[in-house]
Amino acid sequence: MTKKSIIKLEKVWKTYTMGEAEVHALRGIDLDIKEGEFVAIMGPSGSGKSTAMNMVGALDIPTRGRILLDGKDISHLTESALAQVRGKKIGFIFQQFNLLPTLTAQENVMLPMIFQGIDAEERKERAAKLLKMVELGERINHKPTELSGGQQQRVAIARSLANNPEIILADEPTGNLDSKTEATVIDFLKKLHEKEKKTIVLVTHDEEVAKVADRIEHLRDGQIIRTQKNSKRS
């Protein structure tokens, strides 16, 4: 049985105008991510992988082509409508962790729930549970500056799960971490995929990291040059 597509990019172009010149960051990409898949997007810097991630994460809309999320075309939505889609369906994990420095770990995890109008009690409870899951139950009241890099990234993982999204989008999640913490973070991603059945899109330039995925899409010059299937993951 073929699984249904959760995110589908159809001939997606993204063109930036820089002065007189037009720069094509994506050149007609086709990408089909199925429900529950673990896909890595790989490529050197300047290959367009960040732009591709922005498209997959509904952070930006294409210049040409279509993006379907759960079968619904989101390529022409307004920014606020996209925000609503992101808040519900997609959880982000960034290389820079991107936690709000004024908020505690728990409050950071609660943030996406605020924008979905979830009431305070439930927010608190769910955030505490998620932080416990990433083994930070003891540190829910710490601010990001009081946490190590690995701990901050775990807070970010917890935050990405706040609204129980179907898709987790991780952009170089281990780029700022040492190899030991990197392994922990990757383990969490694997767990999310296997146990929570989340669809995971991992953007990385690191081949070792990419190996955890079911499928690796190699990007270069704004095009997918190779698709590599991993039948046996490491």
Partner 1 sequence: MIKDYFQLALRNLLRRRLRAWLTVIGIFIGIMAVVALVSLSQGLQNAVLSEFNKIGADRIIVTPGGAKLGPVGGMLSASKFTEDDYDALKKVKGIDTSASVYTKTAYITYGKETKQEQVWGFPIDSEHMEFYRTQSMFDIDKGRLLRPGDKNKVMIGWETANEVFDKKIKVGNKIRINGQEFEVVGIHTKQGGLLGAMGDKVIRIPKETAREIFHEPDEITSIFLRVKNPEDIDQVVESVKHRLRRFRHVKEGEEDFTVQTSKQVIQTFNNILGIVQAVLVGLALISLLVGGIGIMNTMYTAVAERTKEIGIMKSVGAKNSAIRWIFMIESGLLGTVGGIIGMIIGLGIGKMAEMVALQYGIESLKAYMGLPLLIGAILFSFVVGALAGTLPAMRAARLKPVDALRK
What span, in angstroms and rounded, lies between the C-alpha atoms of 158 and 154? 6
Q: Which stretch binds partner 1 (CB under 8 A): 27-35, 109-117, 178-186, 190-198?
A: 109-117
Q: Output the smallest distance, CB 85 to partner 1, in A.
A: 9
Compare residues 165 and 216 and give the one whose CB is closer to partner 1. 165
3-state class (DSSP) for residue 220? strand
Residues sharing a CB contact under 8 Å with residue 162, sequence separation 6 or more, in sequence order = 91, 109, 110, 111, 112, 113, 126, 127, 130
What's the N-to-C CA distance of the chain in angstroms?
25
159: contact with partner 1 by CB under 8 A: yes
Compare residues 169 and 212 and give the one whose CB is closer to partner 1. 169
Instruction: Give the full edge-to-edge strand order of the sheet including 223-229.
Output: 90-93, 167-171, 199-204, 38-42, 215-220, 223-229
77: contact with partner 1 by CB under 8 A: no
23: contact with partner 1 by CB under 8 A: no
Compare residues 40 and 162 and give the one whose CB is closer to partner 1. 162
Nearest to 155 by CA among 120, 184, 178, 175: 184
Q: Which stretch binds partner 1 (CB under 8 A): 1-9, 80-88, 173-181, 194-202?
A: 80-88
The residues that touch partner 1, with contacts defined as CB under 8 A, are 54, 57, 59-60, 79-80, 83-84, 86-88, 92, 94, 98-103, 111-112, 114-117, 120, 159, 162-163
